[in-house]
Amino acid sequence: MDKYFIIDFDSTLTRVEAMDLLATISLQGLPQKEAAEKRIKELTDLGMNGEISFRDSLKERLLLLEAHEAHLSPLIDLLKKQVSKSFERNKDFFNKYAESVYVISSGFKEYITPIVTELGIKESHIFANDLLFDDQGKVNGFNEENPLSRDGGKAEIIRKLDLDGDIYVIGDGHNDYEIKAAGLANKFYAFTENVSREKVMEKADHIAPSLEEILFENKINSAFSYPKNRIKVLLLENVHHKGVELLEKEGFTVEEYPAGLDEDELAEKIKGVSILGIRSKTQVTAKVLENANRLMAIGAFCIGTNQIDLETAQEKGIAVFNAPFSNTRSVVELAIGQIIMLTRNIFDKSVLMHQGKWDKSATGSKEIRGKKLGIIGYGNIGAQLSVVAESIGLDVCYYDLEEKLALGNANKMGSLRELLETSDIISLHVDGRPENKNIIGEKEFELMKEGVIFINLSRGHVVDIQALKTNVESGKIKGCAVDVFPEEPKSNKDPFESELKGLPNTILTPHIGGSTEEAQENIGNFVPNRIMEYINTGTTTNSVNFPNLTLPRLQNAHRLIHIHKNVPGIIAKINQLFAKHEINIAGQYLKTNEKIGYVITDIEKAYSDDLIKELRAIDNTIKFRVLY
C-alpha cells in the first residue's frame, strides 16, 4: 500500500482531550479545581486553533494540572472507554494496515501508547511527547527536546520518517494542518466526529465526520459499506432526544424540525433524505413518497402508522417501522385516571375551585368498583387496559373484529351493539384505518346507557364529534375524555379549535396519551434501533410493510440486498447471475409477502461492477444495495 495515514490522538482517536480528563482526576478535591479545569480547556482550544503557540499552551496546562504518576492508571482506564466510535468499529483496518498507520500526537506517550496499541497500531509507529517526573513522582515538566513539544513538531516528525507514498493526515487541530501546510501531506482531513473547530475546518481538504468517510474516500473497506454521514435523517415533531442521539452516534447527518409539515412542505423537504422520522401528525402521502428519491426507511415514533401510505412505501422499497408497545402503559394509565376523574366528576369540581366556588357534594360521584368497562379494540393497549382495570375492581368486556384471547376475566362480546348497550364506561382503542371513520356516531350513542362515561384515546376521526357534543349536552354521556381530534394543530404555537370546548365534565388533552418521559424515551430507543439494524444488516424485524426477516451479522462477506415485485422467477435470475460471474454464495435468505420479495445474499468473494449493474437491471427490481 502506497498510502500512509497520520492520526492525531486527542479528540480524534479518542472522543476527549486527555489533559482535560487528567485535570479532573488530579485536581479532585482541590479548591482551584473548577477554575483550573476551565482555564485548561481554554488553553487547549487556543492551541488547537493556532491562536497561541502550542508550547505555551502545553506549559501552562501542565502547571495547572497538579498531576502525579499515580494519576496515569485511572486516566488510561477512562481513555479506554473514550475511543472514538468509528475507530472502535474499524479495528480490522488498523490490524490490516498496521504498516501504514501512524499516531503522531502532541499528547504524552505515557497514556497514549496503552490506548493506541490495543487498536492494533504498532508501538514503533507512535510519536508523542514525554512527561518528566520529580523524585516523588509528581509531573514537573516535559521533554523540551522532543519536536512535538513545539509548533511545527508534527511536520518535523514526518520529515524524519521519510515515508515513500501518499500521506493523509487525520486530526482536529491546527498542528495537524501544519503537516499539509508544510507540503508534507497529500490531504488534510478535519475530523469532526467529536469536535468541530471552524478555523481548522476552513483549512481542511475534506471534512470527515467519521473514519468511515475517510476509508470510503480512499476505497478501503470499513465497518460500514458507506460513510454514515451521507445518510441524511429528517426528524419531525420533536422526536425524543434519545432517538436523535442514537442516530447521530451512528454517524448519520440528522436534521430536526419541531413541528409537522404539510404535504407540499414535506414533498419538498423529503428530497435527498434517506431516513424520515415522524410522529402522529405528519401525513406521508403518495405525493410525498413520489419525491422521496433516496428514502430507505420511515420511522413512526408512535404506535400507529395510518398517517403513512404504507402501500406506496412498499412499492418503492421503503421499509416502515413503528413502536407498537413502547407507550402502551402510558396510554393505559391515562385511561384509568380519566375513568376515575369522570366517574367522580372531579374535573368540573376542580374548575369550580379555581373559580373560587366550594361544591362539596357527593351527588353524581361514584366509585368505579363493580362498574362495567367496555373496551372497543383489544390490541396491545386495550388488552393491557383490561388487565389493569380488572385489578382495581372493574368488570371488563371487549369487542374486536379479530379473534383475540381474553386476558384475566374479561369477556368477549359477540357484537359492538352488545358492548354499547351494557357498558357503564366505554373506552376506544382502535387503529386509524379509513374503515374506522365515525364508527361511533349518533346511532352508536343512542345504544349506550344513560349516564355512560366515554373515552377516546385512539384516533380523532373514529368518533363523530358533533354527535358526541350533542350527547354530552343532553346528559346521555355523563362525562367524556378526548385526547385525539379529526383536525389537530401542527405545533404548540397553533390554536386549538373544537366543538367540544367548554362542555361539562369533559376532559380534553392535546394528544398526549403516550406522551410521558418514559414512553417517549422507550420509543426514542426502539424505533432508531430497528432502523439502524435495517440499514446495517438488512434485518426487517418489526417492519409493518416489509416481509419480516431476521438476519445474522455479516461476517467476512459482502451482503447484497435485492427488493423486487413478488413475481415468479426473480430468485432464479439472481442466482443465474451469481453462477455466470462464478460467485460462491455463503448464505441466502428470502421472504415475500403478497406485493414484494426480499432477497438477501451473502457472497464470499469480490464482485465486479458488471454484476451489480446486472442485478439492478433485473426486471421488477425495486431497490438494490450492497453491505460490506
Q: Which residues contact 431 (CB under 8 A, 6 or more apart)?
A: 304, 306, 377, 379, 458, 459
Is 459 an annotated catalytic residue?
yes
* Degrees, nearest 5: CA angle 375-378-381: 90
> What backbone phi and psi angles, to 5 degrees, belong to 407?
-100, 145
Q: How much is the pTM? A: 0.66
Per-residue pLDDT reduced to its tens digit, 61-88 = 888 888 899 999 999 999 999 999 889 9
Residue 230: closest CA among 203, 254, 246, 265: 254
Average pLDDT of every residue of the chain: 91
Does pLDDT of 225 surpass 70?
no
Average pLDDT for residues 564-571, to the nearest whole number?
Answer: 94
Q: Which of 135-149, 230-244, 548-562 has the lowest mean pLDDT?
A: 548-562
Average pLDDT for residues 304-308, to the nearest whole number?
Answer: 89
pLDDT at residue number 1:
52
Q: Which of 22-26, 441-445, 449-453, 598-602 has the lowest mean pLDDT?
A: 22-26
Place of cell 490495543: 118
Is 198 an annotated catalytic residue?
no
Is residue 329 within 8 Å of residue 307, measured between CB atoms? Answer: no
Residue 440, strand partner residues:
463
One-letter amino acid for residue 473 of the chain? E
Q: Which of 89, 197, 459, 559 is catalytic?
A: 459
Per-residue pLDDT reduced to its tens digit, 173-184 = 888 999 999 999
How far is C-alpha 9 from the geometric centre of its chain's CA atoms?
Answer: 28
- DSSP 8-state secondary structure symbol assigned to residue 100: G
Is residue 228 within 8 Å of residue 296, measured between CB atoms? Answer: no
3-state SS of 50-99?
CCCCHHHHHHHHHHHHCCEHHHHHHHHHHHHCCECHHHHHCHHHHHHCHH
Per-residue pLDDT reduced to its tens digit, 29-42 = 888 888 888 888 88
CA separation (Å) from 416 to 423, 440, 448, 477?
Answer: 11, 10, 11, 18
Does pLDDT of 394 surpass 60?
yes
Q: Percentage of residues in the chain with pLDDT exceeding 70?
A: 99
Q: Which of 248, 256, 315, 488 is catalytic?
A: 488
Is 250 an annotated catalytic residue?
no
Does pLDDT of 422 surpass 60?
yes
Q: Which residue has the higher pLDDT, 175 or 572?
A: 572
Average pLDDT for residues 120-126, to the nearest whole number?
Answer: 95
